[in-house]
């Protein structure tokens, strides 16, 4: 078994790199001087880093494709507040030669604990029709297993194995804590708990993640918002006597959870529960996105590189009481 070597999260300015990664992206490009070079995105379970091959790029990249496991030798360097690797040598490896658990990004949380929390919060639903619906969804072949493994995104937030479960539990916990504060606005707690669980369920079909996270054909053509609502509608159609008003409002929560049309939401939130769910979902996604950018910024940098996603630099310093007096 070939040792993993340095993890991406451990790389610092000037470090010698001799490690195993997965190729997430690869491109052969041409520099201004007409010389070919290669740009790669390398990945392991701790994150991603850009890699560049300046010498013999075409020859070294021959036969290397996204999803391949590679051995890399080179040097870590910082450019515009981001760590990158200047690659001297890259070779394709067999998956049988490495421990894939070191390569595939996975939630740091304990998935058994997350699942226990999920089950506990779903059990608090009192409405018998909603309870039957949740049970039917979880009974679908492969759903629970896929729900525990799927990522919540390809990039930006919770983009790792177990990310969907982690994000969903975060939203459920937020609902559980915030509901007593806002219940005087006439919110239906069962709607919120069900919506928190169901809103991203379609991501189990939107992403493939056996080796690297990618978007499936249904994911590109339909998207998880539609896929989530389809799952719910299919199960409701098998339940005689399911209240139509309940169906309408639950599906609306799913269809509107992105909040704005320009963010891929077929509908804007038009109920109190839909607005509440959108805000909580967006909060967890944005905080996770901020955290991933700040964590990837070198420790000596006060600001991250400019984020095109959030259209800003992120301040990385954490205030510690008494630290300045020492």
Fold entry, domain 111-290:
Hypothetical protein af1432 (1.10.3210)
How far apart are the C-alpha atoms of 291 and 134, rounded to whole Å?
31
Q: How far is CA 326 from the centre of its chain?
A: 39
**Residue 220, number of CB atoms within 10 A of its CB:** 10
pLDDT at 300: 82
For residue 236, what are its two tokens? 């409701």
CA distance 19 to 70: 8
Distance CA 83, CA 284 (A): 26
pLDDT computed for residue 325 by the predictor: 54
186, 121 Cβ separation under 8 angstroms: no
Tell me the angle at which helices 128-139 and 223-237 cross, rounded to the nearest 10 degrees: 110
Q: Is 179 exposed, middle or buried (0-12, 13-18, 19+ CB in 10 A)?
A: middle
Tell me the residue ranges of DSSP E strands in 54-192. Answer: 69-79, 82-93
Q: Which residues pair with 36 in a beta bridge?
A: 30
| Distance in angstroms (rounded) separating the CA atoms of residues 105 and 90 | 21
Q: Report the pLDDT value the prediction gives residue 22, as an integer from 0 to 100.
A: 94
- Size of the chain, expressed as the number of residues it contains: 326
* Domain definitions of the chain by residue range: 8-102, 111-290
- 163 Cβ neighbours under 8 A, 6+ residues apart: 107, 150, 151, 152, 153, 157
pLDDT recorded at residue 156: 78
Residue-level pLDDT at 4: 94
CB count, 10 Å around CB of 1?
7
Q: Do domains 8-102 and 111-290 have the same CATH topology?
A: no
What is the enclosing helix (H) or strand (E) of 158? none
Top-level CATH class of 8-102? mainly beta
Q: How far apart, in whole angstroms, are the C-alpha atoms of residue 161 and residue 127?
A: 32
Collapsing DSSP states into helix, strand and coil, what is residue 214? strand
C-alpha to C-alpha distance for 148 and 171, rounded to whole angstroms: 15
- 3 state SS of 275: helix
Per-residue pLDDT of the chain (326 residues), as tens digits, is 899 999 998 898 899 999 999 999 999 999 989 899 999 999 998 888 999 999 999 999 999 999 999 999 999 998 887 889 999 999 999 989 998 888 888 898 999 999 999 999 999 999 999 999 999 999 999 999 999 999 999 887 898 999 999 999 999 999 999 999 999 999 999 999 999 999 999 999 999 988 788 899 999 999 999 999 999 999 999 999 999 999 999 999 999 999 999 888 899 999 999 999 999 999 999 999 999 888 878 778 899 888 988 999 999 998 888 766 55
Q: Is 179 left (phi over 0), alpha (psi -120 to 50) or beta?
A: alpha
Separation between Cα atoms, residue 77 and residue 278, nearest integer Å: 39
Helix (H) and strand (E) counts in the chain: 11, 7
Structural tokens at position 95: 């998956």
CA gap 225, 257 in Å, rounded = 8
DSSP 185: G
What was the pLDDT predicted at 47?
A: 82
pTM attached to this predicted model: 0.84
């Amino acid at each position: 078994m070939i040792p993993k070597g340095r993890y991406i999260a451990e790389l610092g300015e000037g470090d010698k790199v001799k490690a195993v990664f997965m190729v997430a992206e690869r491109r052969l490009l041409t520099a201004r001087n007409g010389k070919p070079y290669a740009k790669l995105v390398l990945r392991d379970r701790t994150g991603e880093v850009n890699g560049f091959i300046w010498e013999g790029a075409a020859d070294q990249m021959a036969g290397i494709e996204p999803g391949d496991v590679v051995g890399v030798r080179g040097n870590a360097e910082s450019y515009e507040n981001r760590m990158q690797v200047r690659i001297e040598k890259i070779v394709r490896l067999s998956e049988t030669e490495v421990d894939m658990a070191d390569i595939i990004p996975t939630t740091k949380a304990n998935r058994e604990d997350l699942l226990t929390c999920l089950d506990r919060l779903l059990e608090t639903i009192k409405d018998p029709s909603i309870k039957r619906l949740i049970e039917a969804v979880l009974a679908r072949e492969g759903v629970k297993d896929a729900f525990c493994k799927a990522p919540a995104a390809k990039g930006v937030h919770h983009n790792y194995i177990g990310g969907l479960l982690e994000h969903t539990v975060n939203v459920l916990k937020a609902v559980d804590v915030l509901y007593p504060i806002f219940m005087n606005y006439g919110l239906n707690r069962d709607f919120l708990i069900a919506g928190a669980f169901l809103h991203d369920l379609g991501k189990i079909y939107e992403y493939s993640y056996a080796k690297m996270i990618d978007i499936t054909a249904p994911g590109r053509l339909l998207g998880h918002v539609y896929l989530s609502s389809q799952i719910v509608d299919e199960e409701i159609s098998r339940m005689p006597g399911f209240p139509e008003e309940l169906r309408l409002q639950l599906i609306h929560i799913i269809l509107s959870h992105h909040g704005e049309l320009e963010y891929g939401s077929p509908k804007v939130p038009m109920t109190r529960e839909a607005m509440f769910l959108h805000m909580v979902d967006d909060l967890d996604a944005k905080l996770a996105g901020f955290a991933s950018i700040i964590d990837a910024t070198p420790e000596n940098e006060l600001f991250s590189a400019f984020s095109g996603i959030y259209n800003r630099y992120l301040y990385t310093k954490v205030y510690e009481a008494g630290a300045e007096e020492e």
